[in-house]
Structure 1
């Protein structure tokens, strides 16, 4: 499954996760399941790049066994022209700013990404 981040730092920031609970990205899925998840991540990232202007796409596996043990991938499109000092982890940290968005903004962006997935 894929869904937009509720508190995005860049516009179009999404998460991709398997529907069944998997706690460890290395010891949890089989090779085939891991590759299938990566294929979905790639498909979602391509769709986001069709909708959101993107200089580079960050794909990360974050989480913690203490607080967020379900594996998931972060797909974060870096806007073009972002100064180097504001790229990489800086661009993903919520303390550096979260995009204000209305439910209608999220619905419109989600619909555009779904349409790109259907192409």
Structure 2
């Protein structure tokens, strides 16, 4: 287990494993305008396949998608996610424009890790 999510960036552990997915998002609510984009609630249908494992079928899985865009050379800034207290649950890290987005999966969806 990592003590700091940023330790995962640039460090590859484990065995390379082929992964395939065929996912479709269906909006179940109107889009909500956010700074530089929009967010929409919906659901996902599809399948995720990992070599050596049974396929994972997804049917009506609650989901949220967002799209953001900026002019060339402008930074995206932090993702507009609600904050969640740090925990040891599922986490995802991404680096865009040299910003670290440290997200955690909560019962209500993905949130940014915070102390609020």
User: TM-score interval w.r.t. the shorter chain?
Assistant: under 0.3
Larger Rg, first or second structure (1 or 2): 2
More strand as a share of residues: 2
More helix as a share of residues: 1
Q: Structure with the greater relative contact order (CA < 8 A, sep ≥ 6): 1 or 2? A: 1
